[in-house]
Amino acid sequence: MTDRMLVEIAQRYGTPCYVYDLESISQQIAKLKQALPEAEIYYALKANSSGGIIRHMAQHGLGAEVISLGELARALQANLNKLILTGPGHPDAFRKAALQAAYRKDIRVSLDSISQWQAWQSLAWPQKLGFLIRLNPALDPKTHEHLATGMASSKFGMSLAEAEAVACEIPSEHFLGFHVHAGSQIGELHIFSEVFERLAPLYERFKARYLDIGGGYHVPDFPLEAYAHLLRGFAERFKLRLMLEPGRYLVADSGFLLTSVLHLKEGERHHIICDAGMAELLRPALYGAKHPIRALTVGGILGSQGDLNLADVDGPLCENADRLGVDVMLPPVVEGDLLLVERTGAYGLAMSSNYGSSLRPPEVLIQGQSFRLARRRETLADLLSLEPV
């Protein structure tokens, strides 16, 4: 993927626009498969559920982790064979659709609470439906508070006592094992060691075949080899098969948000107002996330340079949180120049909204030297179509 190609994409489809490089996703999958060849990989669809991306995952033989009826429908449409349902809320329609699919697909359910277990019990299960029990490991995963799902105070998973109680009730032919997703953007390996300490009593007490260790790998610098070593040690100790649920690790670095400079404003700070902001990429506003931003064109010229200055890269909407970056080093761009917001393949379009009646941007897939539209830009007609007049 070259800058020239990105400029061509912006000219063809306009901005803002999301672009994904499929080869880079393939490389991430290959790295993970090489580090843990024995593990089953369930791609966390919430990171990026674009049809083109899911089909790419299916071609690589991956399964999917799904949390909603919509994600289930997308995974089934892309013909992914193995699915794990997770999340704290399973509405009737979601459970029923999953049960129907379980007659032809390998469907597993991670139970998040006793109440959820009771809801699943009220339905008739196909023979091969398998359950895991999500443990809340009650630890601090050292990440942003919104992503710290393993804290005792979080809504996720069961306490040790609850997990034991449910494990006693699940018929053994339907019981697969335990599940932990301690958080997202976890960079410190000792967190996983602590998770294993919490899990050990359960695997000592209950005969289980699987461990689902969730996702959560810190991007950009997760110590994958050391993690694989640690994980393998635990799995071998209890003779467990491994399930992984990576989201961000597989897609974050393959995605880019193209945006155009609309206006420049000099004040107490130097503001670059762009045509993308929190409606297209919520992460800077919600988590204070810092995405690398660079200029693709300067003064309309590709790849040109200039003295770097600090600027705030802001969106077009009417609140301060509507920004893509603060204190970004950029050359002296002018109106109409193109900026590239990097590492936006995960939780980018997936968390976009129509805030300010913004129209969601298109998605373009790059494969080798060619690119194609994977999802068109929303139109004003789309925006108005759900409301009867």
State the residues that interact with ligand LLP by CB under 6 A.
44, 46-47, 65, 86, 147, 181, 184, 214-217, 245-249, 283, 287, 346-347, 351
Strands (E), 281-352: 293-295, 297-298, 301-302, 309-314, 323-330, 338-342
Nearest residue to 337 (alpha-carbon basis) of 312, 359, 304: 304
> Judged by CB, which is closer to ligand LLP: 84, or 166?
84
Alpha-carbon span 2 to 178, nearest angstrom? 44
| Token digits of residue 193 | 């060691």
Give the Cα separation of 315 and 285 in Å (integer).
11
Closest CA to 143 of 184, 102, 92, 95: 184
- Beta-ladder partners of 373: 364
Residue with tokens 């659709």, as numbered in its chain: 97
Which CB, 16 or 247, lies closer to ligand LLP? 247
388 CB burial (10 A radius; 0-12, 13-18, 19+): exposed
In a 3-state reduction of DSSP, which class is residue 219? coil
Assigned token pair, 11: 């000219």
DSSP 267: S
274 in catalytic set: no
Q: In whole angstroms, what is the distance from residue 385 CA to residue 368 CA? A: 36
245 or 363: CB nearest ligand LLP: 245
Question: Which residues sit opposite 370 in a β-bridge?
Answer: 367
Rg, C-alpha atoms of the chain: 22
Choice among 17, 168, 274, 318 that is catalytic: 318
The helix/strand/coil state of 93 is helix
Tokens 């019981």 map to which residue? 175
Residue type, 294: R
Q: Which is nearer to ligand LLP, 65 or 275 (CB)?
A: 65
Q: Decide: 29 and 250 in contact? Cβ < 8 Å.
A: yes
Distance, in Å, from the CA atom of 295 to the CA atom of 100, rounded to the nearest integer, reads: 49
Pairing of strands 309-314, 301-302: unpaired
Kindly list the catalytic residues.
318
